[in-house]
A and B are shown apart, each in its own frame.
Chain A
Amino acid sequence: MNGVFDLAGTDGIGPVVVPEDEPVFRAEWEKAVFPMFAMCFRAGFFGVDQFRHGIELIDPAVYLKSPYYEHWVHTVEHFGEKLGKLDMAELDRRTAHYLADLEASLPEHQDDPELLAFIEAVVPSGATAKRESDKAARFKAGDIVRVDRSAPKGHTRRARYVRGAVGEVVLAHGTYIYPDTAGNGLGEHPEHLYTVRFTSEELWGAEHAEPNGSVCFDVWDPYIELVTPASATTEGAVA
């Protein structure tokens, strides 16, 4: 979907502000939100692509102005409600309860050794998005390609600033979960993944681009079409 989360090249939103130093978590509530991704993933709320799409659906004004980890709250709520795992009226009732007394206790509960073991295991192992596939790669390093202009309404990683742009394939990574299906609840359908390098002039125009710059952007096979194959560009260079 086209949305404000797709930020590359957005002007007029102010300077980058870098504090001298800041803690990993700026507030206690951030510490409770951060683990929700891994634990709700384990509980079947979402995959990582769906998680991102839940964030993309946030009201754009809120998206731009709210603290980062609040975005995670929105996506947990989105999928909790959608899957019937969260009663939103009950969530509102409890929110009022805690707003009246932020120190009010959490429900008493037992430790869960299996959950703790999951955290101890998943942090160092992760969960790769690489998938085996017998699909042939349509492109290779050196190919000159164009990103197509498709503007799908659901989740996609087709950032607007690379749509229609021409660049060179610089890396071919193998086959990975396809976000355009996985992020929309339509399955993994692995596709070949490539890194394409675009010059700054190609992305922003010669008049507006900084000198001697480029952007490398990852695309899945269906995002791109061939402009000039690698061998032809080599021959062209020789001729």
Chain B
Amino acid sequence: MSARIRTQEEIAARVKALESMLIEQGVMTTQAIDRMVEIYEHEVGPQLGAKVVAKAWSDPEFKARLVEDASEACKELGISGLQGEDMVVVENTDDVHNIIVCTLCSCYPWPVLGLPPNWYKDPQYRAAITREPRKVLSGAFDFTVAESVEVRVWDSSSEMRYWVLPQRPAGTDGWSEEQLAGLVTRDSMIGVGPVAQVAS
């Protein structure tokens, strides 16, 4: 194996060569490639997780089911699939703040968050978040968790797919699920950011 780092052009040529051989073997078609890309660019993304969080904030019975078995509860909302067959929701409380990572590869709950951002897959995040989570949060995400709150990092080393149920912000009494979903950011479900601030 050569340790030389390829340019974008060299990678693009290598991929097209590989794609051409897989197409000839009937493994891939451009139609199926385009469809799969379309799904993860436009259909499956963090707006789905936000919908689940908003429902959990609004419906205590649903929240209980979600915490008990996240994959089953998400199916009630038509949300399921690849890389989320066995999901576990970890709930933030006044005492515990949760963060997800995959230090060995790039595991991430696709059905509720879509495909992971590049920083989540980069060596730097995977290296630092288990060792210095508070430093990563403040340095890269401008986000601080009080020292009195335990920072609990979930390293997704198996096929269980963890994601974070953030706390419902104050000042949202009487809000609809749709309004609440608008507050839920992708980063808040990874655990590296807050939910959107409520204008007072």
Contacts and interface: CB of A to CB of B under 8 A. Distances in A.
Contacts of A85: 25
Contacts of A6: 103-104
Contact of A106 (B5, B30, B80, B156): B30
Given A24-B41, A127-B85, A212-B147, A107 B24 contact: yes
A216 B154 contact: yes
B152 to A, nearest CB: 5
A91 B21 contact: yes
B189 interface: no
B64 interface: no
Interface in A218-235: 218-220
A177 interface: yes
Given A126-B83, A173-B86, A68 B106 contact: yes
A153 interface: no
A91 B11 CA distance: 13
A28 to B, nearest CB: 7
B123 A7 contact: yes
B21 A176 contact: no
A112 interface: yes
Nearest to A113: B31
Given A34-B40, A94-B21, A159-B103, A116 B32 contact: yes
A193 B160 contact: yes
Contact of B140 (A18, A58, A179, A197): A18
A32 B19 contact: yes
Contact of A95 (B17, B31, B128): B17
A18 B149 CA distance: 24
B37 interface: yes
A104 B122 CA distance: 32
A8 B147 contact: no
A119 B23 CA distance: 16
In this complex, the interface size class of chain A, counting residues with CB under 8 Å from chain B, is 35 or more
Contacts of B183: none
Interface residues of B, number: 91
Contact of A102 (B13, B19, B85): B13
A16 B28 contact: no
Interface in B100-120: 103-106, 111, 114-115, 117-119
Contacts of B131: 8-9, 11, 203-204, 210
B12 A102 contact: yes
A39 B159 contact: no
B81 A126 contact: yes
Interface string A192-205: 01010100000110
A213 B155 CA distance: 13
B103 to A, nearest CB: 4
B114 A24 contact: yes
A29 B158 contact: no
Nearest to A94: B17
Contacts of A125: 80-81
Interface in A32-85: 32-36, 38-40, 42-43, 48, 52, 55, 58-59, 61-62, 64-68, 70, 73, 76-77, 80, 85
Contact of A59 (B1, B33, B44, B88): B1
Contact of A216 (B5, B22, B153): B153
A85 to B, nearest CB: 7
A104 B9 CA distance: 13
Given A43-B22, A210-B133, 15 more contacts: A9-B130, A13-B123, A13-B124, A16-B128, A17-B140, A38-B82, A62-B3, A67-B11, A86-B18, A94-B17, A111-B31, A130-B85, A210-B151, A217-B155, A219-B157
Nearest 6 CB-CB pairings of A with B: A94-B17, A218-B158, A99-B13, A8-B103, A128-B85, A16-B140
